[in-house]
Amino acid sequence: KPPPKQIKIAPPVTTTGLTDVDVRSGMQVAALKQAVTDHLRYSIGHPPVATTLHDYYYALALAVRDRMQHRWLNTLQTNFDLKRKIVCYLSAEFLMGPHLGNNLLNLGIEQEARAALAELGQDLDIVLECEEEPGLGNGGLGRLAACYLDSLATLQRPAVGYGIRYEFGIFDQEIHDGWQAEITDKWLRYGNPWEIAKPEVAHYVNWGGHTEYYRDEAGNDRVRWMPYRVVKGTAYDTPTQGYGVNNCNTLRLWSAEAVESFDFQAFNTGDYYQAVEDKIISETVTKVLYPNDEPQIGKHLRLGQQYFFVSCSLQNMLHILSLSGVPVENFAERYAVQLNDTHPSIGVVELMRLLVDERRLDWDKAWAITVQTFGYTNHTLLPEALETWPLPMFQALLPRHLEIIYEINRRFLDEVRARFSGDEARVARMSLIGEEGEKCVRMAHLAAVGSHAINGVAALHSDLLKASVLKDFYEMWPERFSNKTNGVTPRRFLALANPGLRALLNEALGEQWPVNMEQLHQLEAKADDAAFRRKWRAIKEANKKRLADYILAHTDIELDPTWLFDIQVKRIHEYKRQHLNVLHIVTLYRRLKENPGLNISPRAFIFGGKAAPGYFMAKRIIKLINGVAETINADPDVNTRMKVAFVPNFNVQNAQLIYPAADLSEQISTAGKEASGTGNMKFMLNGALTIGTLDGANVEIREEVGAENFFLFGLTTEEVEHIKREGYHPTDCIASNSELRTVLELINSGYFSRGDAEVFRSVVNNLTYSDPFLVLADYAAYVACQERVSAAWQDKENWTRMSILNTARSGKFSSDRAIREYCDEIWNVQPATVKL
């Protein structure tokens, strides 16, 4: 980045007439300008000659944080005074994305900040780009948690997001010779203006060791956990500001440190190196996010991370409860704790331990509180993603918890036997301990037994949950199950990401739509207004230009913004079937080569997404996309009508450029595999049409927008299961489709890998002989559907109509709708208005 224009920073004694209060909390241009100058001087401290753009970012961020501080403290005080029930959202991931732009938007001071910076000679858009995004999540699951925090604050619900302050978040992806390279994410390198360290908010977490039985003063048998190690967790708080309200909630992330007394002990005995080693081991716990999206990774350290943050969080809740003078018996009346997947499900056991061993409640009372407190959201049906922990590993790390699990299981299985007497197969299936093969703890079962509410994340997914992985639990407790279709925040993903569309919507609907997305239905009438459609198209084309500039800067690939932008961005996974998309591209390429006069709609095929570093096939798929891109983009026979680009390092920041630029959204997972998807919603919000299977929330998107405005193809979940049951033979698909055969042969020949026929052999062989996600079974239907897309694109007016209808009917997919449902139907949490 070039150095910013140098300006003279105002002298410390101001003559602006602003009070200290103005400078800390004033929302006007003059106050913001003074705040930025003060922070440059007093918080950052570089002389003008050494002041960088990043310094301006940091100073503005601090000025914005000052303005939130006031709202945050009032929110905490209000929640305390009103004694409202608080949502505690436990999640191993929070993929927050850049804060500055979003906080300016939610506070309603973007224009003021822009003007203030302009008076200081700086451009807000350039300053915004300086922010290093906190990538503390892998993909959909972590971003959902972030959208939910935005909605909780906006809907004035008292809430805390509890998670882990990873020192290194999701890796940065670079593309080297078409391959993914992983670069460590040093997001804290230049500091983090958004967090406030709370070293005094600390809890101690035990590891390993053994348990001892003893009799207490009252003669009751009790258990003492004698740990091998103690780690200290300290809180780092990030205020999360609601949109258009004063409510500002807390994201509380825990960071691991060594316990000082351990250091001193070793130090005194002269074992300095032991003390240092202890510090290193302790701090390792929160070092790095595991970069696997769906598959679970059975690592000791990962279980350690989960237990660490969950224990800190529950201890913190108990601590705050006693500060408020509320008896521990009332825990469930004050806290609704949601488990974001099974990652925090050890919380069920930890709360039992805290209540029974430490607070000395009797078991039945403690169990009633626990079940009343917890809700469990399941986010995946993929068997390889369901968490289980081998017993020896579990026992070594959490010996007391294993004992408690055995006791929970004993009582639970008694209940099962009482309900379904004689059905020992069912008892084995439902047990918290898996006994087939290596014995293990089944975390989904633990979460289900310990929660009063269990939900899936889209209608189809919730139904499949009841029919498959949690079928036995559904039969036992049908009343615990419900669906909560995911949602996304329209503030970040529409208002902030798509300022052009925001202005048009404000003009057409007024300014309430970001908090009342049902109002978007009023756009339906506008779909038939030619002048409105012209404006709509102009906005889309400007967004496409903006993305094309970004892609050119990052890949050297030049895209024409008048072409159809066909986009698939998400984690790379075989079930998401990026390779099906590639097969279509190669099909089209061959057709153009064979028939140069073919009339096709010119298209830019755009991909983005990270592969788990150890996921062999996903990394080959990235290489394949880049190989196909290299060949096609360089071929003058076709490159005036089609091009392919892989956007490196897909993250929240560039997602905000990508969704608004899409004409076509690719949602082509194997039916029954994508629990919901949330990218599908972000595209729809921004007026993209969807090509998709009947999977996840696609089903509901199609219901909302109407079948005539959605490009549907492919096998249904039932058909997928039927084919698998009958025995699937991908070679049959190849034998009956000569075009498919030629496409696979071309890929296999080294044509897209500079003649190296080895590179894609594994991908082609996998599709030919195994094809676990039925790519070839859906190939013909997908290609035919893409022809319908091409034909539809020719009619610009009708395409625009459909685009408008997509946005108009996207209201259901606001995270506000989802959060209202959680609050009303699971958490029973009421709004609390915060006054300043």
Beta bridge partners of 607: 568, 646
For residue 135, what is the enclosing H or E element? strand 135-136
818 is an interface residue for ligand GL4 by CB under 6 A = no
Q: Which of 71, 353, 379, 461 is catalytic?
A: 379
Residue 336: helix, strand or coil by DSSP? strand
Q: Which stretch binds ligand GL4 (CB under 6 A): 368-376, 552-560, 614-622, 672-680?
A: 672-680
Residues 6+ apart with CB under 8 A from 390: 298, 438, 439, 440
459 is an interface residue for ligand GL4 by CB under 6 A = no
Residues 686-745 that bind ligand GL4 (CB under 6 A): 696
What's the rounded Cα separation, in Å, for the pair 524 and 514?
17
Choice from 677, 687, 730, 811 touching ligand GL4 (CB under 6 A): 677
294 is an interface residue for ligand GL4 by CB under 6 A = yes
Residues 6+ apart with CB under 8 A from 369: 329, 331, 332, 351, 355, 361
* Cα atoms found within 13 Å of the Cα of residue 442, Cβ hemisphere only: 21
457 is an interface residue for ligand GL4 by CB under 6 A = yes
675 is an interface residue for ligand GL4 by CB under 6 A = yes
What's the rounded Cα separation, in Å, for the pair 134 and 136?
6
The CB-of-482 to ligand GL4 minimum distance in angstroms stands at: 15
The CB-of-461 to ligand GL4 minimum distance in angstroms stands at: 8
Closer Cβ to ligand GL4, 138 or 180, answer by number: 138
716 catalytically annotated: no
Q: Which stretch binds ligand GL4 (CB under 6 A): 98-106, 379-387, 413-421, 800-808?
A: 379-387
For residues 15 to 44, the per-residue mask of contacts with ligand GL4, x marking binding by CB under 6 A and - elsewhere, is: ------------------------------
Q: Which of 33, 576, 577, 603 is catalytic?
A: 576
Termini Cα distance of the chain: 40
570 catalytically annotated: yes
The CB-of-142 to ligand GL4 minimum distance in angstroms stands at: 8
Beta bridge partners of 690: 665
Residues 6+ apart with CB under 8 A from 190: 54, 58, 132
What's the rounded Cα separation, in Å, for the pair 761 and 314?
50
The CB-of-820 to ligand GL4 minimum distance in angstroms stands at: 17
Choice from 51, 103, 255, 678 touching ligand GL4 (CB under 6 A): 678
Choice from 486, 568, 786, 815 touching ligand GL4 (CB under 6 A): 486
571 catalytically annotated: yes
Burial environment of residue 140 by CB neighbours within 10 A (0 to 12, 13 to 18, 19 or more): buried
Choice from 370, 653, 676, 807 touching ligand GL4 (CB under 6 A): 676
Backbone phi, then psi, for 174, in 5-degree steps?
Answer: -115, 155
What's the rounded Cα separation, in Å, for the pair 524 and 516?
16
Q: Which stretch binds ligand GL4 (CB under 6 A): 24-32, 243-251, 378-386, 773-781?
A: 378-386
665 is an interface residue for ligand GL4 by CB under 6 A = no
Closer Cβ to ligand GL4, 106 or 678, answer by number: 678
574 is an interface residue for ligand GL4 by CB under 6 A = no
Would you state the structure tokens that stand for residue 296, as one six-digit string? 């679970």
Would you state the structure tokens that stand for residue 725, as one six-digit string? 């049951």
The CB-of-178 to ligand GL4 minimum distance in angstroms stands at: 26
Instruction: Specify the pairing of strand 221-226 against strand 664-667.
Output: unpaired
666 is an interface residue for ligand GL4 by CB under 6 A = no
Is the distance from CB of 517 to CB of 491 less than 8 angstroms? no
379 catalytically annotated: yes
Q: Which of 682, 702, 801, 809 is catalytic?
A: 682
Which residue of the chain is nearest ligand GL4 when measured via CB? 140
Closer Cβ to ligand GL4, 695 or 771, answer by number: 695
618 is an interface residue for ligand GL4 by CB under 6 A = no
Closer Cβ to ligand GL4, 139 or 714, answer by number: 139
The CB-of-679 to ligand GL4 minimum distance in angstroms stands at: 8
342 catalytically annotated: no
The CB-of-94 to ligand GL4 minimum distance in angstroms stands at: 13
- One-letter amino acid at 169 equals G
Q: Which of 78, 154, 380, 678 is catalytic?
A: 678
Among the listed residues 813, 733, 819, 792, the one whose alpha carbon sits nearest the alpha carbon of residue 336: 819
Is the distance from CB of 753 to CB of 627 less than 8 angstroms? yes
For residue 374, what is the enclosing H or E element? strand 374-377
Backbone phi, then psi, for 741, in 5-degree steps?
Answer: -60, -45
Q: How many beta carbons lie within 10 A of that of residue 732, not counting itself?
A: 11
Closer Cβ to ligand GL4, 674 or 771, answer by number: 674
385 is an interface residue for ligand GL4 by CB under 6 A = yes
514 is an interface residue for ligand GL4 by CB under 6 A = no
Q: Which of 67, 232, 526, 571 is catalytic?
A: 571
Beta bridge partners of 711: 691
Q: Which stretch binds ligand GL4 (CB under 6 A): 17-25, 351-359, 669-677, 782-790?
A: 669-677
Closer Cβ to ligand GL4, 62 or 145, answer by number: 145
Is the distance from CB of 231 to CB of 243 less than 8 angstroms? no
Q: Which residue spans within 393-548 are E strands per DSSP?
A: 433-434, 440-442, 453-456, 481-483
Choice from 180, 286, 380, 462 touching ligand GL4 (CB under 6 A): 380
DSSP sequence for 69-106: HHHHHHHHHHHHHHT--EEEEE-S-EE---SHHHHHHH
Closer Cβ to ligand GL4, 147 or 155, answer by number: 147
User: What is the Rg, in whole angstroms, of the alpha carbon atoms belonging to the chain?
Assistant: 28
The CB-of-698 to ligand GL4 minimum distance in angstroms stands at: 10
Is the distance from CB of 287 to CB of 186 less than 8 angstroms? no
The CB-of-335 to ligand GL4 minimum distance in angstroms stands at: 22
DSSP sequence for 289-313: ----SSS----HHHHHHHHHHHHHH
Residues 304-363 that bind ligand GL4 (CB under 6 A): none
* Cα atoms found within 13 Å of the Cα of residue 733, Cβ hemisphere only: 20
526 catalytically annotated: no
CA dihedral 740, 746, 749, 752 (to 10 degrees): -130
The CB-of-575 to ligand GL4 minimum distance in angstroms stands at: 9
Choice from 293, 472, 574, 666 touching ligand GL4 (CB under 6 A): 293
Would you state the structure tokens that stand for residue 375, as one six-digit string? 């809700």
For residues 126 to 165, the per-residue mask of contacts with ligand GL4, x marking binding by CB under 6 A and - elsewhere, is: -------------xxx--x---------------------
Active site residue ranges:
379, 570-571, 576, 678, 682
Q: Which residues bind ligand GL4 (CB under 6 A)?
A: 139-141, 144, 293-294, 379-380, 385, 457, 486, 674-678, 696
